[in-house]
Amino acid sequence: MSAITEISPGLVIQRVKPPLKLADFKLIAFDMDSTLINIECIDEIADAVGKKAEVAAITEATMRGEIKDFKESLRRRVALLQGVPVEALQQVYDERLKLNPGAAELVAACKAAGLKVLLVSGGFTFFANRVKDRLGIDFARSNLLDEADGKLTGQVVTQSWGDICDGAEKRRTLLEVASLMGISPQEAIAVGDGANDLPMMGEAGLSVAYHAKPKVREQAMVAINEGGLDRLLELLE
């Protein structure tokens, strides 16, 4: 077990020696829900039909790694959204979704240093595409909710790459984008908070846990346990 060092309150590192150079990296990949943004979107959509507690319990168990099959977990939760009006998504975006502290600053710093920015989410395109545009992110992959007659059907739509962006798909996307860029995964940073982020974090040259579940904090090279996402810049020149 490598030494764990709290280099300042709420900022913990292991297996990495600062300062690192941001310009040595070419790509940064972010999870969305509870990482770039403050909410788990699916839990908030479920609130529209009075099923937040039921859905949130499955979400929490999945992010802790207690439910191993993310795809099955997501299908179970999405099925509970059947009949939700599509307008409820816009309401969640307008009224509940906020960028986490330091998200805009970290993305801007990465872009200024020449990194490409990737958003890979087990959440939904409705939110991921808006967050992508809001932050000037280069590429996003997430799940597409099926709808008919202005309501959610309780299913996800199969896209060209598959139907559900789980941990394996996050990892594959990171590797695919790195390959397209002609870089090594060691030149990538991966930032997440839940168990389904671990596969991509395991491939990246620098893995960052943000206000994460214990299992994720234990495995990440950097854990931001207090403060904003831009605290990563304290380690990077």
Catalytic annotation, residues? 31, 33
Q: DSSP string of 128-194?
A: HHHHHHHHT-SEEEEEEEEEETTEEEEEEE-BTTBS---HHHHHHHHHHHHHHHT--GGGEEEEESS
**Segment holding 28, helix H or strand E:** strand 27-30
Q: DSSP string of 224-236?
A: E-SS-GGGGGGSB
Tokens of 214: 């214990």
Sequence-separated (6 or more) residues with CB below 8 Å from residue 108: none
Q: In what order do the strands lie in the sheet with 27-30?
A: 4-8, 11-14, 222-224, 206-210, 188-192, 27-30, 116-124, 139-148, 151-157
Residues in the chain: 237
Provide the CA 191 distance to its chain's centre, in angstroms: 7
